[in-house]
């Protein structure tokens, strides 16, 4: 199975320091929906792994989060794509859970539920914690400059071997034409 793991905010949709708190606030990054559709047409499975601490912080509830995800699923389907599953952590940074990135719990959950090995599976994110979680789970981290990606690039601990792309569409270009990356 060809699988790619995507972060949500800053990779698929515009990010906000105040959280995406409603379906109305969820806006796709230009080209991201089409990039997911191209992955699907090429036979890839797409899952999302996202921290959603706004739930723990009371910014929105689980019902609202589900409505946001339904809007995302619908928009991706309308573009000709499919997100196979969304894995999310609703906990806050002080909850000491295993699923909040940079811990790899969401990735382990994906591996267990899909009965796959994550070694080499591309995981596209925009933050240091996305890269750390992917690496800890054995996946292959890729960074996009959208969302918090440009700020993340300035972080001194970013490994030189982490590929960097302007956005999800360019990362998908590289996945679909590996000899060009």
Cα–Cα distance, 110 to 99 (Å, whole number) = 11
The full set of domain ranges for the chain reads 3-180
Compare 157 and 180 and report the one with higher pLDDT.
157
| CATH match for 3-180 among 3.40.630.30, 3.40.640.10, 2.60.40.1180, 3.40.50.1000 | 3.40.50.1000
Tens-digit pLDDT profile for residues 102-147: 999 999 999 999 999 999 999 999 999 999 999 999 999 999 999 9
Torsion angle (degrees, nearest 10) of CA 17, 56, 136, 129:
10
Compare 104 and 161 and report the one with higher pLDDT.
104
Q: Is the pLDDT of residue 181 over 60?
A: no
The answer, as to whether pTM is greater than 0.75, is yes
Q: What mean pLDDT do residues 60-75 have?
A: 98
* Phi, psi (degrees; rounded to nearest 5) at 176: -85, -15
Q: What is the mean pLDDT of the chain?
A: 95
Q: What mean pLDDT do residues 32-61 have?
A: 97
Catalytic residues: 7, 9
């Amino acid at each position: 199975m060809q699988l790619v793991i995507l972060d949500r905010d800053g990779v698929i949709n515009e990010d906000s320091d105040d959280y995406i708190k409603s379906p109305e606030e969820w806006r796709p990054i230009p080209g991201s929906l089409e990039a997911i559709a191209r992955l699907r047409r090429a036979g890839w499975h797409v899952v999302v792994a996202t921290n959603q601490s706004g739930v723990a912080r009371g910014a929105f509830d689980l019902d609202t989060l589900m409505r946001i995800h339904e809007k995302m699923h619908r928009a991706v389907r309308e573009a000709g794509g499919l997100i196979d599953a969304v894995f999310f952590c609703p906990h806050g940074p002080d909850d000491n859970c295993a699923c909040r990135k940079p811990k790899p719990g969401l990735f382990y959950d994906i591996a267990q539920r899909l009965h796959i090995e994550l070694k080499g599976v591309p995981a596209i994110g925009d933050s240091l914690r996305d890269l750390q979680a992917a690496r800890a789970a054995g996946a292959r981290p890729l960074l996009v400059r959208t969302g918090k990606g440009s700020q993340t690039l300035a972080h001194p601990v970013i490994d030189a071997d982490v590929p960097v792309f302007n956005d999800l569409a360019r990362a998908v270009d590289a996945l679909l034409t590996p000899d060009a990356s």
